[in-house]
Amino acid sequence: MLEVMDKEPSLRAIWAGGAVLGLVGYAAARLRRWLVFPALALIAVTAWTQLGDLLDPHLGPAIMQEAGAWYVGQAGAAVALAVILCVLGLAPRREV
């Protein structure tokens, strides 16, 4: 049986990447509203390249067996965090 998870990113790397991409997207959207589109595109491409193996018909079940559903859920949550932070950058600024 081949090891699958040694070729996949760790949860720490996935969460760090999601947080960094989300914060960059947040800052970009605060700077210029239209920058939310390239930031979301970057998040989508990064998520696809890093987590695309989960959708593979041969690797996906092997990853689920070795890492469990927890890994897949955490990876999805990290991507969701990046998207939410990016979209939160579009919120109107509060004037004090």
Q: What is the mean pLDDT of residues 75-79?
A: 94
Q: What would the pLDDT profile of 36-68 be if each residue is shown by its tens digit?
A: 999 999 999 999 988 888 888 888 888 888 888
Contact 56, 4 (CB under 8 A): no
Give the model's confidence band at 76: pLDDT under 50 very low, under 70 low, under 90 confident, else very high: very high
- pLDDT, residue 2, reads 58
- pLDDT, residue 15, reads 96
- pLDDT, residue 39, reads 96
Can you say whether residue 68 is alpha, beta or left, with left for phi > 0 and alpha for psi between -120 and 50 degrees?
left
pTM, 2 dp:
0.87
